[in-house]
């Protein structure tokens, strides 16, 4: 019973630690925005997360916990199919996996036209 009380106390302390006070914001007027627009040039150095996905699979949790060195997972793609190139989680291109000086890389083969 003391473990439950300790957990409840810890939860209450954590909740209090992250409590945020809110202030009322002034209403925005119907005026026009002022200043210079951000512009694309100012965004060119913003880092984005790029991920290359060669495939996926689904397995039961029971099989997952049995995985170890030497285990094989069969993916949902054939070896000749292109890999997906994602930027911040969205597929933007496709490519083929290559090796560059002993490291993996990806050669872009297609840019996807997505709205």
Furthest-apart CA atoms within the chain: distance in Å: 65
Residue 24 predicted with pLDDT over 70: no
For residue 52, being part of any structural domain is answered with yes
pLDDT band at 5; cut points 50, 70, 90: confident
Residue span of the structural domain in which 102 resides: 46-115
Task: Look at the chain and report how many structural domains it folds into.
Answer: 1
Domain CATH number, residue 90: 2.30.330.10
For residue 84, being part of any structural domain is answered with yes
Please state the pTM of the whole predicted model: 0.62
Burial class (CB in 10 A: 0-12, 13-18, 19+), 60: exposed
Q: Is 55 within 8 Å of 75 (Cβ atoms)?
A: yes
Task: Give the separation between CA 45 and CA 95, rounded to whole angstroms.
Answer: 24
pLDDT of residue 21: 53
For residue 31, being part of any structural domain is answered with no
pLDDT of residue 66: 95
For residue 16, being part of any structural domain is answered with no
Give the torsion sign (CA, 54, 55, 60, 61). positive
For residue 20, being part of any structural domain is answered with no
């Amino acid at each position: 019973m003391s473990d439950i009380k300790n957990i409840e106390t810890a939860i209450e302390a954590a909740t209090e630690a992250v409590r945020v006070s809110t202030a009322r914001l002034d209403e925005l007027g119907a005026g026009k925005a002022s200043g210079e627009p951000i512009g694309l040039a100012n965004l060119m150095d913003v880092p984005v997360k790029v991920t290359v996905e060669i495939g996926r699979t689904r397995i039961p949790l029971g099989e997952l916990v049995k995985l170890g060195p030497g285990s094989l997972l069969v993916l949902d793609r054939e070896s000749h199919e292109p890999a997906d190139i994602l930027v911040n989680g969205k597929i933007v291109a496709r490519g083929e996996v290559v090796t560059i000086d002993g490291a993996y890389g990806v050669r872009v083969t297609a840019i996807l036209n997505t709205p």
